[in-house]
Amino acid sequence: MEGGHTLRAAGDVFFFRAPRDQLSSPGVIAAVVEWWLRAWGQVRAELLVPPLRAAVALCMAMSVIVLAEKVFLGTVSSVMKLRLRRRPWRMYRCDPIARPDEEDASSEADPMVLVQIPMYNEKEVYQLSIGAACRLTWPVDRLIVQVLDDSTDAVIKELVKSECERWAAEGINIRYETRKDRAGYKAGNLKEGMRHAYVRGCEFVAMFDADFQPAPDFLAKTVPFLLHNPSLALVQTRWKFVNANDCLLTRMQEMSMDYHFKVEQEAGSSLCNFFGYNGGTAGVWRTQAIVESGGWDDRTTAEDMDLALRAGLLGWEFVYVGSIKVKSELPSTLKAYRSQQHRWSCGPALLFKKMFGKLLLPSYCFLVQKVSVWKKLYMIYDFFIARRIIGTFFTLFFFSILIPMIILFPEAQIPVWALIYIPTAITLLNSVGTPRSIHLIILWVLFENVMALHKFKAILIGLFETDRANEWIVTQKLGNLQKLKSIASVTGNSRFKDRFHCLEIFFGLSLLVSACFDYIYRDDYLYLFVLPQSIMYFAIGFQFIGLSVSED
């Protein structure tokens, strides 16, 4: 007891007690504040800082994993380009199909090919896709164009049907197919399309989404790969974006997609003849491979990746031919892009959950007996874990959570090499796909960091298989932008959640507070990392990125 104040020990913690008439005295207040500061310091040192240091170490390890994966894939892609610059990929033959009479418009030397075009209320682009498919330079009696229309708008259905009838009148073997409902969405639509009797005679199946426009010689360039190489199941071609210059959002997407096609797909094709079937479009499948793999399955929203994975486990091989490009459209609105990325992130996560255990079970071994350990390792580690789960989590956690936490807890420091050197190297490696946009690289990094929040949320939804795990929202297409000069702002009666994204705005506010605190009270310049990221969160949260179109 000292001066009427009592300190009572309880273990290692001291409780302060003072007479009631002295509780308001400055000395007592100072003692209480000092006690709270000491308690906070103890909690900080023993409970908060160690986990934060562990998080720093974890992020350092993940950054090395991400960098190693990109260096590895980039090296493989570069080497293969140098070695096979004058030839098609690897040792696959791609000789022209021999025809006894080149002037003959029909020849049994050409295999029967089915072209599938699944669509859903595609008013803006249905003419482009149907017209491109019907203009393919392939013998008319060896080609079937199948339009799978799931439209719910009666006016649009009539327009699509009339377009098919117009091409049929010109001698094209085009079939217009509809369903009673949209069960299974795109996978269900394609599966239903394969059940028609006239499909049984088709040796190969080419698929194009409604916004894709293949060149007339598409089949002439792709089918020979499959015809001369019986082990091939799929020939995947590259996407060429007709609207990449529409806005900043499309420029950002172009950078991401170009890296995917020029590096990831080329590396997967050359390493183990396996990769994901991009969006279920711009590729040609061997019908036998689809049938043997069990056909289309709607258990996830990644039906294209699901089919590719099952076919790969059966020993079928894939080839990616980047020199063949198919025109397509990037989402021009933030709402469309977010729904697309949710599907592309959630679907693979759910598929990984469903397939991972089966890869390890003995009862599944009869399916993988033709697959090497290296190929299975690539599927599990590089294709799923490193590229999608670790890469997305690292991007979100490191830039949007860890760095702001370091501002508040300077006891846990991030080494310069982990803070600057590795992220810079990763960024530069990602930029090789689109050299013309190198000046946008900083904006692209900030944009991808924000989208990592949306993607990781979708990954969690897929892994835990919540209600939105199989949510399917068709990506809105705008068609030819030159025809849309009357683009308007979002209508005033649009829902609040469609105009503002609260989670992004919350992160933006948190980062802004962290940046201000760092600028005022610290001298480590971390606000240079945090403040621009905060601005990008606000730009996406308030939909300042991308075009705004009327909901009408």
For 52-95, the DSSP string reads: HHHHHHHHHHHHHHHHHHHHHHHHHHHHHHHHTTTSSSTT---P
Range of the domain at 288: 88-94+109-331
| CA-closest candidate to residue 276, choices 382, 131, 176, 366 | 382
- pLDDT for the residue numbered 33: 84
Q: Are strands 174-178 and 204-207 parallel, antiparallel or unpaired?
A: unpaired
| CA-closest candidate to residue 323, choices 372, 365, 266 | 266
In sequence order, what E strands does 274-402 have?
A: 283-286, 317-328
Tracing tokens 């991808």 back to the chain, one arrives at 448
The CA-to-CA distance between both ends of the chain, in Å, stands at 78
Q: How far apart are CA 504 and CA 510, in angstroms?
A: 10
Residue 53 sits at the vertex; the CA angle it makes with 49 and 55, to the nearest 5 degrees, is: 115
3-state secondary structure of 116: strand
Q: What is the pLDDT along the chain (552 residues), one digit of tens a residue?
A: 444 444 444 444 444 455 555 555 677 888 888 888 888 888 888 889 999 999 999 999 999 999 999 999 999 998 887 776 655 445 577 777 765 554 444 556 789 999 999 999 999 999 999 999 999 999 999 999 999 999 999 999 999 999 999 999 999 999 999 999 999 999 999 999 999 999 999 999 999 999 999 999 999 999 999 999 999 999 999 999 999 999 999 999 999 999 999 999 999 998 888 999 998 999 999 999 999 999 999 999 999 999 999 999 899 999 999 999 999 999 999 999 999 999 999 999 999 999 887 666 544 444 444 678 888 888 888 888 999 999 999 999 999 999 999 999 999 999 999 999 999 999 999 888 899 999 999 999 999 999 999 999 999 999 999 888 888 888 888 775 444 444 443 333 455 556 789 999 999 999 999 999 999 999 889 999 999 999 999 999 999 998 876 554
> Is residue 261 within 8 Å of 151, Cβ to Cβ?
no
In a domain, 171, yes or no: yes
Q: Kindly give, in sequence order, each residue whose CB lies less than 8 Å from that of residue 52, ignoring residues fewer than 6 positions away.
A: 405, 406, 409, 411, 412
Cα dihedral 271, 348, 311, 296 sign: negative
CATH of residue 210's domain is 3.90.550.10
Bridge partners (DSSP) of residue 327 are 213, 240
> Is residue 347 within 8 Å of 402, Cβ to Cβ?
no
Q: Kindly give, in sequence order, each residue whose CB lies less than 8 Å from that of residue 185, ignoring residues fewer than 6 positions away.
A: 150, 298, 301, 472
| CA-closest candidate to residue 235, choices 297, 286, 306 | 286
AA identity, residue 433: G
Q: Are strands 232-241 and 283-286 parallel, antiparallel or unpaired?
A: antiparallel
Q: Are strands 204-207 and 283-286 parallel, antiparallel or unpaired?
A: antiparallel
Structure token pair of residue 239: 């996407």
> Is residue 484 within 8 Å of 478, Cβ to Cβ?
yes
| CA-closest candidate to residue 117, choices 206, 196, 208, 183 | 208
Q: Which of left, alpha, beta for 338 (phi over 0: left; psi -120 to 50: alpha)?
A: alpha
Cα dihedral 229, 230, 231, 233 sign: positive
Question: Is-catalytic flag, 149?
Answer: no
Q: Are strands 317-328 and 6-10 parallel, antiparallel or unpaired?
A: unpaired
| CA-closest candidate to residue 469, choices 477, 460, 456 | 460
Would you list the DSSP string of 141-192?
GGEEEEEEE----HHHHHHHHHHHHHHHHTT--EEEEE-SS-TTHHHHHHHH
Tell me how long the chain is: 552
Question: Rg (Cα) of the chain, in Å, rounded?
Answer: 28
In a domain, 538, yes or no: no
What is the separation of C-alpha 474 from the centre of its chain, rounded to a whole number of angstroms?
Answer: 15
In a domain, 215, yes or no: yes
Question: Is-catalytic flag, 153?
Answer: no
Domain count for the chain: 1
Catalytic residue among 150, 211, 306, 518: 150
Structure token pair of residue 57: 């170490």
* Burial tier of 403 (Cβ tally within 10 Å: 0-12, 13-18, 19+): buried
In a domain, 233, yes or no: yes
- pLDDT for the residue numbered 21: 52
What are the φ and ψ backbone dihedral angles of 41, each rounded to 5 degrees? -60, -40
Catalytic residue among 110, 258, 304, 306: 304
The model carries a pTM of 0.89
In a domain, 227, yes or no: yes
In a domain, 192, yes or no: yes
In a domain, 412, yes or no: no
Q: How far apart are CA 5 and CA 205, in angstroms?
A: 87
Structure token pair of residue 531: 């403040």
In a domain, 115, yes or no: yes
- pLDDT for the residue numbered 301: 93
